[in-house]
Amino acid sequence: MANLEISMKETMTAIEGAVGVAVVDYTSGMALGTLGGGNDLDLDVAAAGNTDVIRAKVRTMEHLGLKGEIEDILITLASQYHLIRLLKGRGGSGLFIYLVLDRGRSNLAMARHQLKRIEAELEV
């Protein structure tokens, strides 16, 4: 089991092209921790904004009567991938990992695979 800080460091080093990562409580929109980012990427603002994305998707699924859980949400920009992965188990309910990848330096399939592995080891 890895704690939050270790998991975020592993995300930034193990996932090629990682620009920033945050673990976010989507009930409040507050980031429990962030790593990376910079002048062009305010992870606290992104955490709050992506909370709205999750809430909207959950609401839409309810209106449509869709069953099941959201595994992840992908937002594709011209130069970046934004990956939102909802945490499951061991106190992860209500939390998500927000990962920003440089599109030119990352492999999306590998990033999703690595993020799933990191999530499984994360203890919040």
Radius of gyration in angstroms for the set of CA atoms belonging to the chain, rounded to a whole number: 14
Contact 91, 124 (CB under 8 A): yes
**pTM value?**
0.91
Residue position matching structure tokens 């996932």: 15
Which pLDDT score is estimated for 120? 87
Q: What is the pLDDT of residues 8-28, one digit of tens each?
A: 999 999 999 999 999 999 889
Q: Going along 2-123, which residue ranges are E strands?
A: 18-25, 30-36, 72-76, 80-86, 95-102
Distances (CA, A) of 71 to 45, 62, 87, 115: 22, 16, 8, 11
Contact 124, 95 (CB under 8 A): yes
Which pLDDT score is estimated for 90? 55
Which pLDDT score is estimated for 96? 93
Low-confidence ranges of the chain (pLDDT < 50): 1
